[in-house]
Structure 1
Amino acid sequence: MDYRVIKEGDIFLLTEPNGDITENNEAGHGLYTKDTRFLSRLELLIDGEKPSVLSSNADKSYFASIRLMKVRQDEGAIELLRERFIYQGVLYERITLTNFFPDSRTFDFSAGFDADFQDMFLVRKYRTGETGEITGREAGERQLSIRYQGKDDIVRETVIEWNQDESGIDPQGIVHFTMTLQPQESQQICFVITPVLAGEKAEPLAYEEALRLLEQSYDSWYGETTRVTSNMEVFDGLYRRGVQDLRMLMTDVGYGDTPVAGLPWFAVPFGRDSLITSLFMLPLNPEKAKGTLRTLAAYQGTKVDAWRDEQPGKIMHEIRFGELVNTNQSPFSPYYGTVDSTPLFLVLIAEYVRWTGDLALVEELKPNIERALGWIDGIIEGTGAGFLTYHQEAEKGFPNQGWKDSSNSIVHQTGQYAATPIALSEVQGYVYQAKKGLAPIMAVLGDQALADKLELEAEAFKARFEEAFWMEDEQFYAVALDREQQQVRSVTSNPGHLLMTGLPDAARAEQVAERLTAKDMFNGYGVRTMSTEAAGYYPMSYHNGSVWPHDNGMILLGLSRLGFKREANQMISGLLEASKSFEYQRLPELFCGYGSELGGPVPYPTTCSPQAWSGATSFVFLQAMLGLAPDAIARKIVMNPFLPDLFNELTAERVRIGDGHLSVKLTRTPDSVQVDIIENTTGYELVL
């Protein structure tokens, strides 16, 4: 990557690989919280010159270590080791300076700081708007502060503190230290940088204490999640990377931890992204879904507001907290322009109960469930076609409102873009899965009338879908129906999500699985978003030919549930091979759709990494290999396991199901896969 990023809670730091934030950079580097850049310059110099990079390591999601050196020919060098992390609202950076000259050296070490307090949308050039102004800069003893008065009447401040006496601070915000070091002598300077919002300032700890507590929190996270080992180090590494990255990407905005979408630009709760990530995280630790469900329930739509595409019962797409949102210059407060978040909210509730049996959360959220069902039914009945559709109302919203939300993503075979209202194939699957999944839960809770209603509606919906979306000549489902209820006949990955939902008839599900892994759809590493035979195909397109790991994860959930082991093997093996090519074996948001004959996956030019639903895809690999389908309502666990090529064994320890745990080992034998149950404290019947 051409950047370094670390995050903890609501704060993230984005810098160049050398650790600097330079002024007027086009990449948007900075220290951010609440969608505001609290640091727009952080630059280290020795005698007024930049040191060069020796190494830049961010293998730990939460900690960066960068080694720099100021060299003078062959005489020697001054080395700088930058070690940084974020904990409880404070950025800590420790600089260790070492003299590798053969004699004593005196030099000027300086650190330049500034803050512009730009809204995230302005940094990304995604919006324009009226903003506030810098109202004060103050330098004190071992301290520098910059204050900003926003148009939203919120005072924001950046406080920079350090632990050594400086030799001076110039008007440009550069702090100078005159240093004298003997040969191989080291000296440390620690900076702590604290964003202050409306007077709320976190109190910094000692560097070592803050780091100890941060690492302790990661150890607790690892202890709460499923442990996995296998004979395939590439899988073990990808799984460990996902576990670590998901811990970093969790954020609590007041209703419990929820995964944000990704770094650097989407470090906020999303509807679709947070829900799909939480769905993938169920075999990791199903308890982690509760924060997502409560957060999205808290922001559920309550009124008709075209400015934000809001409607009663609708689940949000994205929420922001910056100056433009606070002054109603942007509709993301939150913005509701998504068609799939609402049914996915219901899908996650049903799947969460299957893993946990937690009916208390369903009772708590039942008003939200009923409002979400009401919104879905209102749209379905209002279209006249009997499907859940979307149409942009907000002037500054999104024209396409499924997961492929770019403006060119829903395209006919003629090359023309489909006109809205649009009914997406996978969204209809989510509606079906939500109603089928909630029906038995409502029956257990004593609402038999609602349970029967959901069952009847789901079956009628399935029949309508099969008739309207199936393309007989392609033996595949259309990606969507357009405004005229005509099929959008491009072959895409979207119908692959239907396998997870249980909607397709068995014969058609088999045909879908075969087509998804055929050469025009599978590029050797994963399923493309669009067939190479489609008119809109372009391998570098964001949504029309690229490969998205999370998209493959959704498909893989379905392949696993339906027992399509050959196709699941192909998908897991391809993505594992792709992961070897990316820094820290971190699957990115997406990569290009070029075939594997090029020797490796082709990176997409601009992509978020780490990203939550990509990081969580390895958890789906685990669920697929175990063939694990718990049903806490029926007090039963079904396993239909398999081991992909090159796997000889897999052990999963302390998978949380119900009130207990399941630990299991799979071993390849000449004829099958041997299953050894190491521990089962769930009390549920286990069916192999």
Structure 2
Amino acid sequence: MTATQQCLLVRDGTFAAVGASGDVSGDLSTERGRPEGLFVRDARHLSRWQLTVDGGTPTVLVPAAPSAGARSTAGAVLTPPAGRADTPALTVFREQTVTAGALVERLRLSSNQGETASALVALTVDADFADQFELRGDHRWYEKPQAVRTRTVLPDGVEFGYRRRDWYARTVVRAEPAPDAVEHTGSGARRLCWRVRLPPHGSAELALHVTAYPHGAATAEARPGAEETPERAATARRGTPAAAPEVAGSDPAQPEAAEGAWPRLARARAQGLADLALLQVAAAGPEGEELRVPAAGVPWFLTLLGRHALITSRFALPVRPGLASATLLALAATQATAVDESRIAQPGKIVHEVRHGELAYFGQVPYDRYFGAVDSTPLFLSLLGAYVTSTGDEKLAARLEGHARAAVEWMFRDGGLAGHGYLLYHADRGGLANQSWKDSPGAICFADGTPAKGVIRAAAAQGYAYEALCRTAHLARTVWDDPAYAARLTEAADGLRERFLSDFWLPEEDFPALALDESGARVDALGSDAGHLLWTGILDAERARAVGRRLVGPGFFTGWGIRTLAAGQGAYHPLSYHRGSVWPHDSAIAALGLARYGMREEARTVARGLVDLAAASDYRIPEVIAGYGRADHPRPIPYPHACSPQAWSAAAPLALETALG
């Protein structure tokens, strides 16, 4: 880790981004696209946290890095800058732990001298309560009328407050022992100061406890001794197995050392399950019950995103069915019940994104609940059906019958199935330009790169709709005792499949179009969305084989995974978010689809690439990487600003296990 790199710690809906020394130096005037600080519910509760010893910034001997297996605790080793470099008077051992709504830091100063000494330790702290959207890199400045910030000195620390009308948040910093002095700085921050005495070759400790009290959510204050213990770490990783032992006589450097043995996949699986445990955030069910659901990722999306949580839970269903039930209940509780054009909401639609921050509260960004996704609703229905098939738990399907029927009716009434024959969205009506999983501007495009405009019927969404209708028909027959409704949905699914195979297929490419535009023209870019069509079963066997062979061919497959857009097209760009990059979850979906159609060797090819990517990434699979081919670049090339950890990438090894099973 260099001085400019960050250490990310995450736990229970809280994350901290600190520098190599453990410092935080967030500054809205210069900081964009790289958040620093302590974040809870989309707000930054700590924007400065800068340590000095004897008036200077310490030198980093060992940079801050997460401790093995925890990912919520990090340690750094520092020395004071003064004196001879080879004989520092003392060493500073710095440990930081993120817990629910809090950061706990322990500083241990260890004397390297044979006589009594002292050191002046100071910690400059501040909390600007910036909304995460202010740090997202768009260089926008948001007006905050009537906002008031306060700083109050406490006997053992300082309290920071922020109020804007009825929006209120605060951060409390307490120290043990209490600081000898609390000084004002020119920037408005506060500096906590201690004169620390050190016996010969002895040590002294300081404990700092930062507690966030976000708007709308009470957080139990951090207590002395609330550091990460082995028991607490085990609780955070509940149910997560240790990495599987290597197969006797196997070479862990090889993807498959013995027939049927994938030891590196087992390591990626263990890391993924640990990350999924850390990424869970609080949510409420339809009756207000407390739930834990998978957040999308750190740093930008430590919140509930519909399609991310649904796909993550689907991947994890064989081993963590509780994620699926919690996700379904949380999304049922946030399901739209009325039309709200500003949020792109209609009755029955499943939410795309839930936000808790100040800017969403005041409507300066897309609100606390935003429904701009065409695919969350069918994915909700598919997960419900898959959950019942996998677990046999019909009680959840019975409880959510009304929500499921409302979701189906949205697909027909507002989603477009009844009037247009396909799920559709409007690319030019505000909000996200694209509302399928490839939601960046220009992601749905023609082969030459021209963006599709107007009413868009994305291919992947039609596959989701087909599966949703099939699975919901099964629930109607087996759980809800409504054969007439089942027959209606089955007929609709058959009709959708027939239309799709006729309207979307590109005969000259032997491959499906990425979408249909408002004129009905085939958007002819060749994209990885075809793997989603395999996963959902909308293709016939002959077309599926053609798609499968193409996806593992040189245009799509990089050696690490499947490009979102095949190379060789005018639209292709290896560092574009959705027009040439590789998303591991996208490749894992394709592997599931290949296995569904009996293309086992192709599925294994994709799995090997993703396992190799995991091994090259310390077994934490990244959210997205650049689309450069492995033959020319023997190491995966990172994508800038990717989330890590990220939920559906963490769950990808579980999908691979299913595909290879």
- Give TM-score, length-normalised by structure 2: 0.90
Runs (5+) with no aligned partner, structure 1: 627-688
Hey, what's the Cα distance between the residues in 2 that align with 1:414 and 1:235? Answer: 38
Q: Is 1:106 aligned with 2:118?
A: yes
| 1:181 corresponds to 2:190 | no
State the distance in 2 between where 1:330 and 1:394 align.
15
Q: Distance in 1 between matches of 2:498 and 2:596?
A: 21
CA 1:164–1:474 in 2, change beyond 3 Å: closer, same or farther?
same
1:70 is the counterpart of 2:83: no
Over 3 Å counting, the alpha-carbon distance change for 1:292 and 1:230 in structure 2 is farther
Matches of 2:130 and 2:564, distance apart in 1: 35
Residue from 212, 233, 240 that aligns with 1:215: 233
Separation (CA, whole Å) in 2 of partners of 1:219 and 1:478: 42
Q: Distance in 2 between matches of 1:7 and 1:607?
A: 16
Of 590, 609, 623, 1:589 maps to 623
Structure 1 residues 149 and 549, CA, compared in 2 at 3 Å: closer, same or farther? Answer: same
Equivalent in the alignment of 2:463: 429
Q: What do the CA deviations read for 1:150-195 (whole angstroms, capped 9, x no partner)? A: 24x1221110001113221111211111112234322221111111
- Give the one of 214, 238, 243 matched to 2:273: 243
SS in 2 for 1:449: helix
Is contact 1:420–1:483 with CA below 8 Å preserved after alignment?
Answer: yes
Of 170, 183, 186, 1:157 maps to 170
Maintained 8 Å contact 2:35/2:299: no
- 1:641 aligned residue: none
- Aligned to 1:570, what secondary structure does the other structure show? helix
Give the C-alpha shift of residue 604 in structure 1.
1.0
Normalising by the residue count of structure 1, what TM-score does the alignment of the two structures yield?
0.87
Q: Tell me which residue corresponds to 1:202.
A: 220
**Number of residue pairs aligned between Structure 1 and Structure 2:** 621
The answer (yes or no) to whether the contact 1:383–1:389 under 8 Å persists in 2 is: no
**Aligned residue identity for 1:64:** A
Contact 1:572 1:621 in 2 (8 A): yes
Change (3 A) 1:312 1:229: farther
Q: Is it true that 1:143 corresponds to 2:178 in the alignment?
A: no
Q: CA deviation at 1:92?
A: 1.1
Matches within 5 A, 1:242-641: 242-255=272-285, 256-379=291-414, 381=416, 384-392=419-427, 395=430, 397-445=431-479, 446-582=481-617, 584-597=618-631, 598-626=633-661
- CA deviation map 1:106-142 (0-9, x unaligned): 2111111101111221232555433253442111221
> Residues 413-434 of structure 1, C-alpha deviation per residue, up to 9 Å, x if partnerless?
2331111211111110111111
Give the direction of change, closer, same or farther, for the CA distance of 1:183–1:620 in structure 2 (3 Å limit): farther
Deviates more, 1:261-270 or 1:320-329: 320-329
The corresponding residue for 2:251 is none
Pair 1:309–1:141, CA change in 2 (3 A):
same
In 2 relative to 1, CA 543–36 (structure 1 residues): closer, same or farther, beyond 3 Å? same
For 1:217 and 1:604, locate their aligned partners in 2 and report how far apart those are by CA, in whole Å: 32
| Matched residue, 1:166 | 179
- The CA distance in 1 between the partners of 2:525 and 2:167, in whole Å, is 49
Letter of the 1:162 partner, please give it: A
**TM-aligned CA distance change 1:541 to 1:220, over 3 Å:** closer
Relative to structure 1, the CA distance from residue 219 to residue 268 in structure 2 (aligned partners, 3 Å threshold; closer, same or farther) is closer
**One-letter code of the match for 1:202?**
A
Which residue of structure 1 aligns with residue 256 of structure 2? none
| DSSP-derived class of the 1:623 partner | helix
Letter in 1 for 2:599: F
List per-residue Cα deviations over 1:504-559 (Å, max 9, x = no partner): 10111111110000001001111000111221001111111110001011111112
Alignment CA distance shift 1:412-1:210 (3 Å): closer
CA distance in 2 between partners of 1:329 and 1:492 (Å): 34
- The correspondence for 1:7, drawn from 10, 17, 29, is 10
| 1:99 alignment partner AA | S
Which amino acid is 2:178 matched to? D
2:464 aligns to what SS in structure 1? helix
Identical counterparts, % of pairs? 34
Q: 1:466: Cα distance to partner?
A: 0.4
SS in 1 for 2:455: coil
Aligned to 1:685: none
Aligned to 1:684: none
Distance apart, 1:20 and its partner CA: 1.1
